[in-house]
Each structure stands twice: as structure tokens, then as C-alpha cells.
């Protein structure tokens, strides 16, 4: 055994011990022998190009891309029409490591009116309505103000467990986590002087459809950001360049991109977008969905991935809650009959993706993998059965109904491991 191999074996024995599970020595032949084979270092033609030197590039052997939702070929997709709207592409969660989504791999959706091409030197943010001093900021003026940076997830309401999604991208691909930096909205609102009786803000973007969203004043003063930076670089055009609202823990649609106007008001303004698509039609729910509940997803092994052999594998995934930090994640490998704690990987941050890991010994039998998030408020992520029962409907109705109807659809997505090691969606249709 060479030294690489023995250190790998030490790690594999340590893993289960750290996870608190009892696992015997590895079955003979179950670990991949480490060979001396490495890919030949090939000088790629552009290695010294001006662009490579100035902006960097990834290895040509790394081919992770954002898959197109629906899995169609790009040019034949039904939405590739000569209009600004484009198909949704998903965060490649199945290959994710840690908690930060690279900007290039952040999902992209809901641009029915195109992605505006904004010159930051001409962009302004206006704050008006029920304020003592209406204000207009240029980007330069905003950049002179004190700013904060925070790691937060974002999740589109359309992202949820389904019985038909074949991959983790097809089900939960519209979520991502970044370090967002910008000016606290509370600072700008204090500067403008919010008048008595003002209880909401209306934020509006400059995209063609003027996407706008009403946000309660209490939230606006709590932790909302007017963000211009994402993972250390200017927010990308897809994500709202040069300026976006970021409303941590709320449904993604609150985080208005290409932000140019905040009106301080005394009631929610049900603008076209909000009224047409975002309201919860159940009047007894108050029409609005705010924070997203506790949720977790197994990213590996997930749909269409493959366990190549029996033995020790790391079940890994992401958990989050719109209401705070993740306290615990439990994993079941037997369809929910028994559960055990997964390890949370640092950092565990409020309203951010949290990585969890669970060392598992696969004996080659069929297995049903589930994960369940418990947040710091003690809220537990439901199964689809529990979710349907809570809303007093049947499971088929849960799947059929528009996503906003039942609030945040945070029920568990099971993955089924077959005897041949292939992985399938584990929800019955
Ligand atoms: N101006 C504007 N803001 C917008 C949208 C939009 O279409 N226009 N889409 C919303 C929706 S539905 C989501 S899920 C998030 C997605 O943000 P992201 O693209 O940075 O992930 O932006 C929100 N903000
Ligand atoms: Mo969304």
C-alpha cells in the first residue's frame, strides 16, 4: 500500500467515527486504488492570452454548466424565441461543494422582459413617497456609504420537490448562495426620514415589465440590503447589475433586481406582477408569503447520479431556513423509518445554505435517502404527506397546485438508490 492509499484509508475510517456511526473496516477491494496516473499537463492555446491573464479561467477539463430547465437542447427550447424572455437555467447543485455558488453557475429565471443592459454611470436609485426628504442616489454616491457583506441564500418559489423531476437541478435548481454586499436599506430609509404611518415599501426594477414587490417596513428596516456586489465582484447583469434589493429569507421574488425606485407607502401596492403571479389566493393566509420554512436537499447521491460500487459514500446536501440558522439536519437511508444526525459543516449562518454530510455504508441494497432540516426555531421540514395533511388536501393536489397557493413548498425530496447503484426520484407520482 502506498502512502496515498493508506492516508485515504485512515480518512475513510475516521469519517464514520466522526459522524458517530459504527462502520467496520472497508470491504476488500471497495476503495479505489490510487494510481499514479494523472492527466498530462497540456498547454492550452489560450493559456497566455490577455483574457486568461487578466480575468482567469477554469480548466478545460472542468465542464460543469447550468442545465437548462426541462433538459432540452438549448437552441430547440420552446422559449428560445426572438423575444427577450429566456428559458430557466439551474444551479448545478449535484456537483456543488461547500455553500457558495459561483456567480457563473447561479441559476437564472423569470426574465420575461429581458435582462436590461444598464450603464452604472447613468443608473440612479430614488427613494420617495412617505418620507421627509425624497432622495436620489447615483451609484457613486451609494458606494461612498458604509456597507455590509453577508452570506445569504436565494430561492425561487418555483423550486420544490416533485415526483417528476429527474435530477436535483430539475427539482431545486433555482436556489443559490452568495456573499452579497451593499448598503443596509435601513440606513437609506433613515436618511430619507420615514413618516408616521408608513408601513410598507414598494421596490421597482427598470426591466421592461417593471418587476415590483411590496415589502413590509419591519423587514425593510431589519436586514434588507441594497446590494451591488456578489461574491466579491459587481452583481452580474442576470442578478440585477448594477443594483438590486436583497430580502434575506423571503421568497426570491422579493429581491427586486435592477433596482431604481423605492416608494415608502402605507399599504402593500398590488402591482401587476404581484397581483398576477405572487399572491397566495387563500385570503385566510393574508395573501402574502414571506419567509421560507426549513428545507434541505440531498445533492449527492441525487437523481441520475450513480454509485459505482458498494462501500462507504458521503451523502451530502444543503439545508437552509428563511427564518434563521439551521440547527440540525437528519438523514434517513430507509425511507424515513429511522433517522440519524448529519454533520453540519462550518460555517452555519442565518438564512444561508448550510452544508451537511453523512457518512453511509451502502451494502448494495435498495435504499431510500431522505434529509430533513430543523431550524433554530425548532421548525421541522415536513414530508409531502405531512405537508398535504397540514393544508387539508390530497398529495396529488399538492403537486398540481400553483406553487404559491400553499405557501413555501418545503417538503422532503427522497432519492431512491437502486441495486445497480443508479439513483431515481423517490416520490411516488
Ligand atoms: N427586476 C426584476 N427583479 C426580479 C425578477 C425579475 O424578473 N425582474 N425576478 C424575481 C424572481 S422571481 C427571483 S426568483 C429572483 C431571482 O434572483 P437571481 O436571478 O439573482 O437569483 O429575482 C427576483 N427579482
Ligand atoms: Mo422566482
d(CA 103, CA 285): 35
Ligand 1 atom with least separation from CA of 154: 21
CATH topology of domain 295-425: Immunoglobulin-like (2.60.40)
- Residue 403 exposed, middle or buried by CB count within 10 Å (0-12, 13-18, 19+): middle
Cα(315) to centroid of ligand 2, in Å?
A: 28
Residues contacting ligand 1 via CB (< 6 Å): 106-111, 154, 156, 176, 205, 207, 211, 238-239, 252-253, 255-258
Give the closest residue to 319 by CA, choosing from 386, 406, 247, 381.
381
Q: Which ligand is nearest to the CA of 154?
A: 1
Q: Which ligand is nearest to the CA of 212?
A: 1
The CATH superfamily label for domain 115-277 reads Oxidoreductase, molybdopterin-binding domain (3.90.420.10)
Which residues belong to CATH 2.60.40.650 in the chain?
Answer: 295-425
CA distances from 73 to 89, 93, 166, 428 (A): 12, 19, 16, 27
Residue labelled with grid coordinates 440585477: 240
Based on C-alpha coordinates, what's the Rg of the chain? 23
Q: Whose CA is nearest to atom 8 of ligand 1?
A: 211
Give the closest residue to 321 by CA, choosing from 405, 257, 380, 253.
380
Residue labelled with grid coordinates 437564472: 108
- Going by the DSSP 8-state scheme, the letter that residue 254 receives in this structure is G
Cα(156) to centroid of ligand 2, in Å?
A: 4
Q: Which ligand is nearest to the CA of 403?
A: 2
- Going by the DSSP 8-state scheme, the letter that residue 290 receives in this structure is -
- Going by the DSSP 8-state scheme, the letter that residue 218 receives in this structure is H
Cα(252) to centroid of ligand 1, in Å?
A: 6
Ligand 1 atom with least separation from CA of 158: 14
> Which distant-in-sequence residues (6+ apart) come within 8 Å of 54 by Cβ?
none
Cα(388) to centroid of ligand 1, in Å?
A: 28
- Going by the DSSP 8-state scheme, the letter that residue 296 receives in this structure is E
> How does strand 175-184 pair with strand 212-216?
unpaired
What is the pTM assigned to this prediction?
Answer: 0.88
CB atoms within 10 A of CB 1: 10
Which residues belong to CATH 3.90.420.10 in the chain?
Answer: 115-277
Render each residue's pLDDT in the chain as its tens digit; 429 residues: 344 444 444 444 444 444 434 444 444 344 444 554 555 555 556 778 888 889 999 999 999 999 988 765 544 444 444 455 677 899 999 999 999 999 999 999 866 678 899 999 999 999 999 999 999 999 999 999 999 999 999 999 889 999 999 999 999 999 999 999 999 999 999 999 999 999 999 999 998 878 899 999 999 999 999 999 999 999 999 999 999 999 999 999 999 999 999 999 999 988 877 776 666 666 555 667 889 999 999 999 999 999 999 999 999 999 999 999 999 999 999 999 999 999 999 999 999 999 999 999 999 999 999 999 999 999 999 999 999 999 899 999 999 887 777 878 999 999 999 999 999 999 987
Query: What length does the chain have?
Result: 429
d(CA 350, CA 219): 15
Amino acid at each position: 500500500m502506498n502512502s496515498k492509499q493508506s492516508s485515504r484509508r485512515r480518512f475513510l475510517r475516521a469519517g464514520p467515527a466522526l459522524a458517530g456511526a459504527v462502520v467496520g473496516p472497508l470491504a476488500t477491494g471497495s476503495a479505489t486504488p490510487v494510481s499514479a496516473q494523472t492527466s498530462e499537463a497540456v498547454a492550452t492555446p489560450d493559456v497566455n492570452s490577455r483574457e486568461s491573464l487578466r480575468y482567469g479561467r477554469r480548466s478545460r477539463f472542468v465542464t460543469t454548466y447550468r442545465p437548462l430547465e426541462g433538459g432540452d437542447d438549448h437552441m430547440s427550447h420552446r422559449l428560445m424565441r426572438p423575444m427577450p424572455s429566456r428559458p430557466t437555467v439551474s444551479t448545478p447543485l449535484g456537483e456543488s461543494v461547500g455553500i457558495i455558488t459561483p456567480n457563473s453557475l447561479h441559476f437564472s429565471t423569470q426574465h420575461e422582459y429581458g435582462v436590461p443592459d444598464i450603464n452604472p454611470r447613468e443608473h440612479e436609485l430614488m427613494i420617495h413617497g412617505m418620507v421627509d426628504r425624497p432622495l436620489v442616489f447615483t451609484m457613486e454616491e451609494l458606494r461612498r456609504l458604509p456597507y455590509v457583506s453577508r452570506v445569504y441564500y436565494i430561492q425561487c418559489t418555483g423550486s420544490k420537490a416533485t415526483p417528476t423531476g429527474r435530477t436535483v437541478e430539475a427539482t431545486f435548481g433555482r436556489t443559490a448562495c452568495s456573499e452579497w454586499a451593499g448598503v443596509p436599506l435601513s440606513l437609506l430609509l433613515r436618511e430619507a426620514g420615514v413618516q408616521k404611518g408608513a408601513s410598507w415599501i414598494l421596490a421597482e426594477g427598470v426591466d421592461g415589465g417593471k418587476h415590483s414587490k411590496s415589502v413590509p417596513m419591519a423587514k425593510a428596516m431589519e436586514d434588507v440590503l441594497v446590494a451591488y456586489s456578489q461574491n466579491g465582484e459587481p452583481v452580474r447583469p442576470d442578478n440585477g447589475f448594477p443594483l438590486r434589493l436583497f430580502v434575506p429569507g423571503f421568497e426570491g421574488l422579493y429581491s427586486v433586481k435592477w433596482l431604481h425606485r423605492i416608494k415608502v407607502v402605507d399599504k402593500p401596492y398590488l402591482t401587476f406582477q404581484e397581483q398576477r403571479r405572487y399572491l397566495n389566493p387563500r385570503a385566510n393566509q393574508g395573501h402574502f408569503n414571506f419567509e421560507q420554512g426549513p428545507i434541505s436537499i440531498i445533492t449527492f447521491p441525487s437523481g441520475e447520479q450513480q454509485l459505482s460500487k458498494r462501500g462507504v459514500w458521503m451523502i451530502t446536501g444543503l439545508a437552509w431556513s428563511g427564518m434563521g440558522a439551521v440547527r440540525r439536519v437528519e438523514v434517513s437511508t430507509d425511507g424515513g423509518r429511522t433517522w440519524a444526525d448529519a454533520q453540519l459543516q462550518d460555517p452555519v449562518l442565518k438564512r444561508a445554505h448550510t452544508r451537511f454530510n453523512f457518512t453511509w455504508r451502502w451494502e448494495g441494497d435498495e435504499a431510500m435517502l431522505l434529509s430533513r432540516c430543523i431550524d433554530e426555531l425548532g421548525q421541522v421540514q415536513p414530508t409531502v404527506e405531512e405537508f398535504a395533511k397540514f393544508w387539508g388536501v390530497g398529495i396529488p393536489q399538492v403537486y398540481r397546485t400553483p406553487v404559491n397557493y400553499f405557501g413555501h413548498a418545503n417538503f422532503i425530496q427522497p432519492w431512491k438508490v437502486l441495486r445497480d447503484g443508479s439513483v431515481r426520484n423517490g416520490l411516488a407520482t
